[in-house]
Structure 1
């Protein structure tokens, strides 16, 4: 993979990790303590400076109580991964809210397509 793509991937994964951490209402310090690493290491991962290993992704997933795939598919450009991500987002909403969002997405697709 070209270096520019690696940097892009690191940034996307880092943002996904930061988003999950905040959703769990955890600080970088708390995550670092659980991982037994320094706060700066967590910060560097979240900022996309460092791409975490698969093992480290597993540790993040355990802390955030999600699948490793969740941390990666949120960053994917593949339509099937994006659809799964949208499915997870929509699953927590009431039926009426999901219907409203689906209508908005359909309108956007027609307009942009």
Structure 2
């Protein structure tokens, strides 16, 4: 993993932390109080300036009543993690609506793959 990928991952984990905090309705101040750190430290985690340790991720997961993997999977750019997230998102959707989503996803994917292939051909 190069430095750019590392920074992107750290920022994505920070965004996932911020989203989970918002979902449970806690302020940065409250999370800081629970963790025994400053509000600025929570802000640094959420903006990706600071990298949370595994222990800190476990503490945050406990506060947000979620699994540690949720904080990481939501931030992941790995295909398998993203596929799992899509699976989770469509889990409660009706069969009819899921079929509609799959058609939209297929069309969008084909369009994006076509654009990528077109760009690659132009640069050759």
Structure 1 length-normalised TM: 0.86
**Structure 2 counterpart of 1:56:** 56
**Structure 2 counterpart of 1:44:** 44
Partner-residue secondary structure (3-state), 1:70: helix
Question: Which entry has the higher C-alpha Rg, 1 or 2?
Answer: 2
Map 1:16-35 → 2, pairs under 5 A: 16-35=16-35
Once the two structures are TM-superposed, the CA of residue 9 in structure 1 deviates from its matched residue by 1.8
**Structure 2 counterpart of 1:100:** 100
Q: Report the count of equivalent residues.
A: 113
Once the two structures are TM-superposed, the CA of residue 84 in structure 1 deviates from its matched residue by 1.0
Gap regions ≥5 residues in structure 1: none
Residue by residue over 1:25-45, the C-alpha shift from the partner in whole angstroms, topping out at 9 and shown as x without a partner, is 211111111112111110000
Partner-residue secondary structure (3-state), 1:56: helix
**RMSD over aligned Cα, in angstroms?**
1.7
Gap regions ≥5 residues in structure 2: 114-124
Residue by residue over 1:39-93, the C-alpha shift from the partner in whole angstroms, topping out at 9 and shown as x without a partner, is 1110000011001000000111111111111111111121110011122222344
